[in-house]
């Protein structure tokens, strides 16, 4: 489904070049539950940004369902993000003035869908992540774990093929982290969406089925877990 061919990324910092990624090649299949692990600065977030079409590689090619990212304009990459990707962030990044329901609704509005037609679907998903009673509460009325659940519902509501989750448990305590990971695993099975984490949290690595270690912008190993 997703193929990275010799992807590299160089940032210009003043007059110096900083090589964030080099020669990264990998394939991701549908329904995978995998993570990029590694120390800070190893290139995990950069790699997620490139996969999500938020940034462009300096070299190499990213291909999703046969679509080459390098051929696409900025607006076309936005359209790809709307269609293929869901995002879960380290901090939940819910829109603070909108309720859980409205936050989950937002990606569908971007896709041009009518609220009346998707209301039941949203409420069902909000229920699935355990936030039914909190659907009309604002983010500031929720706990950190509840906010992250809302963010997961927002990422999944479009039925994307890929969920990119950047350190999704970094701001949660152990119990909430496990709950969130259980939830993601269940949703991964139910919706067959591939989950790609970037993390250095050991709790996450216990759940994932494929682990790719990055160091200094390069893949050190790529292994499946039982």
Partner 1 sequence: MIRWLIMGIVRDRTRFLFPWLVTTVGVMLMITLLGFIEGIFMSMVDMTAKLDTGHLRLVNKPFYEEEHLNPLDRALASEKETKTWLTQNSDPEIQWTSRIRWAALMDVPNERGETRSQTPVTGMGLDLLSESGSEIKRLGLESSLIKGRLPRRSHEMLAGYLLAESLGLEIDGKVTLLGQSFDGGFAADNYQVVGFVKFGVAAMDKKMALIDIEDAQTTFYMEDMVTDWLGFLPSRISIFDYDKIRNDLQAKLTKWRQAPPGDWVEDDFPILLSVLDQRNMGQISQTFLMVRKVLVAIFTFIMSLVLWNAGLLNGIHRYGEIGLRLALGETHGQLLRSLMIESLAIATLGCLAGSLLGGGFVYYLQEVGVNMGDAFVQTGMMFSDVMRGRLSLVGFLYGIVPGLAASVLGTLAAGVAIYQRSTAELFRELEA
> Where do contacts with partner 1 occur on this chain (CB under 8 A)?
45, 49, 52, 54-55, 74-75, 77-83, 85, 87, 89-91, 93, 95-98, 102, 105-107, 109-110, 115, 166
> Minimum distance from CB of 48 to partner 1 (Å)?
10
Residue pair 95/104 in contact (Cβ under 8 Å)? The answer is no
| Smaller CB separation from partner 1, 102 or 134 | 102
> Minimum distance from CB of 149 to partner 1 (Å)?
17
> Minimum distance from CB of 115 to partner 1 (Å)?
8
Contacts of residue 82, Cβ cutoff 8 Å, sequence gap at least 6:
107, 110, 111, 158
Element (DSSP H or E) covering residue 164: strand 162-166
How many C-alpha atoms does 206 have within 13 Å on its Cβ side? 10
| Smaller CB separation from partner 1, 33 or 85 | 85
> Minimum distance from CB of 57 to partner 1 (Å)?
11
What is the phi/psi pair of residue 116, to 5°? -60, -35
Residue with tokens 């809302």: 150
**Residue 153: strand, helix, or coil:** helix
| Smaller CB separation from partner 1, 3 or 113 | 113
How many C-alpha atoms does 102 have within 13 Å on its Cβ side? 10
| Smaller CB separation from partner 1, 102 or 211 | 102
| Smaller CB separation from partner 1, 57 or 145 | 57
> Minimum distance from CB of 26 to partner 1 (Å)?
20
Burial class (CB in 10 A: 0-12, 13-18, 19+), 72: middle
| Smaller CB separation from partner 1, 54 or 185 | 54
> Minimum distance from CB of 96 to partner 1 (Å)?
8
Pairing relation of β-strands 2-13 and 16-28?
A: antiparallel
């Amino acid at each position: 489904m997703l193929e990275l061919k010799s992807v590299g990324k160089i940032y210009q910092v003043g007059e110096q070049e900083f090589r964030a990624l080099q020669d990264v090649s990998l394939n991701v299949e549908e329904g995978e539950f995998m993570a990029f692990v590694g120390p800070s600065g190893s290139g995990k977030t950069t790699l997620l940004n490139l996969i999500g079409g938020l940034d462009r590689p300096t070299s190499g090619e990213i291909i999703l369902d046969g679509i080459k990212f390098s051929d696409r304009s900025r607006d076309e990459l936005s359209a790809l993000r709307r269609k293929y990707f869901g995002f879960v962030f380290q901090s939940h990044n819910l829109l603070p003035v909108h309720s859980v329901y409205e936050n989950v609704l937002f990606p569908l509005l971007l896709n041009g869908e009518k609220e009346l037609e998707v209301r039941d679907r949203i409420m069902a998903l909000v229920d699935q992540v355990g936030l039914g009673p909190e659907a009309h509460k604002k983010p500031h009325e929720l706990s950190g774990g509840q906010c992250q659940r809302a963010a997961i519902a927002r990422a999944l509501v479009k039925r994307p093929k890929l969920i990119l989750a950047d350190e999704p448990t970094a701001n949660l305590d152990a119990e909430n982290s496990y709950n969130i990971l259980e939830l993601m695993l269940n949703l991964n099975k139910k919706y067959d969406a591939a989950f790609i984490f970037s993390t250095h949290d050991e709790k996450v690595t216990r759940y994932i089925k494929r682990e790719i270690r990055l160091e200094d912008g390069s893949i050190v190993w790529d292994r499946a877990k039982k």
